């Protein structure tokens, strides 16, 4: 028996959060559960599938701001210089780029919603760019609202909260001070928009159980609910010392 069914269009959701919050782990868990329930799953990666002028943006981070290349790991930490560079000029550049990305995102969402997938998962969304703005500023808040009127609203938007120090230990790319500021901006954005489901900073297994249970109930996938319950029961046997 497949969970597929009476869904008129693919359901889609997004995962957001600071670097190292555990988005990839939760996306993998949800994708595995949905596939086990008989659903066709499509994962869209914001930087690879949505963002515009990516080569130019990467070059700027390396050549202009002297940031490191690659992805940081506990064994090989790096120092990226891109979204953590703050200045009036960079803010103006971001406003233009984020508008282009939002137009691209709208097109991508419309395209994938016409696919044969049952569930579409976005690895990052427009929220992750808006969180780079100074949302204490009224103009930045107005811009964020404008962008969210432009892009389609996911069925569920998850914000994975995380302790910045622990997140940096998992993915050492940005200074912990920046991660603290970024976390505060994400939480500010969630309050501003009121449509983001915040998952608290918990051990990774607890986060996984919470996400799977909520997703299966909110998206009304019957077989996925059964899979979610099985996963939850299995996870209760995992020691709490495993955390992120």
Domains annotated for the chain, with CATH where assigned, are: 11-235 (3.40.50.300)
- Rounded CA separation 80/68 (Å): 5
Strands (E), 129-203: 156-160, 197-199
pLDDT at 132: 97
Q: Which of 1-5, 8-12, 77-81, 240-244 has the lowest mean pLDDT?
A: 240-244
Position 17 pLDDT exceeds 60: yes
Position 25 pLDDT exceeds 50: yes
How many Cα atoms are found within 13 Å in the side-chain-facing hemisphere of 28? 6
- State the helix-helix crossing angle for 138-150 and 176-193, rounded to 10 degrees: 60
For the record, the structure tokens of 199 come out as 């998952």
pLDDT at 235: 43
pLDDT at 233: 43
Q: How far is CA 64 from the centre of its chain?
A: 27
Are 111 and 12 in contact by the 8 Å Cβ rule? The answer is no
Q: Rounded to two decimals, what is the model's pTM?
A: 0.86
Eight-state DSSP code of residue 121: E
Judging by beta carbons within 10 Å of its beta carbon (0-12, 13-18, 19+), is residue 183 exposed, middle or buried? buried
- Rounded CA separation 57/96 (Å): 12
């Amino acid at each position: 028996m497949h969970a597929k069914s009476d869904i008129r269009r693919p359901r889609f959701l997004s995962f957001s959060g600071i670097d190292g919050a555990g988005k990839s782990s939760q996306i993998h868990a949800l994708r595995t559960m949905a596939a086990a329930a008989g659903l066709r799953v499509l994962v869209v990666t914001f930087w690879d599938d949505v963002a515009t002028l990516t080569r130019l943006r990467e070059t700027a981070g390396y050549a202009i701001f002297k940031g490191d290349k690659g992805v940081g790991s506990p064994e090989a930490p790096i120092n990226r210089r891109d979204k953590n560079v703050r200045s009036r000029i960079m803010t103006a550049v971001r406003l233009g780029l984020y508008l282009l990305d939002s137009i691209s995102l709208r097109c991508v969402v419309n395209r994938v919603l016409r696919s044969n997938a049952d569930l579409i998962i976005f690895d990052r969304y427009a929220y992750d760019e808006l969180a780079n703005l100074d949302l204490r500023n009224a103009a930045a808040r107005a811009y964020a609202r404008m962008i969210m009127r432009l892009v389609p609203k996911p069925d569920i938007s998850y914000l994975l909260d995380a302790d910045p120090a622990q997140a940096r230990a998992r993915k050492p790319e940005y200074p912990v001070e920046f991660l603290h500021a970024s976390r505060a901006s994400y939480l500010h954005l969630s309050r501003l928009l009121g449509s983001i489901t915040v998952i608290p900073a918990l051990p990774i297994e607890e986060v996984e159980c919470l996400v799977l249970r909520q997703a299966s109930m909110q998206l009304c996938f019957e077989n996925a609910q059964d899979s979610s319950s099985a996963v939850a029961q299995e996870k209760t046997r995992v020691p709490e010392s495993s955390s992120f």
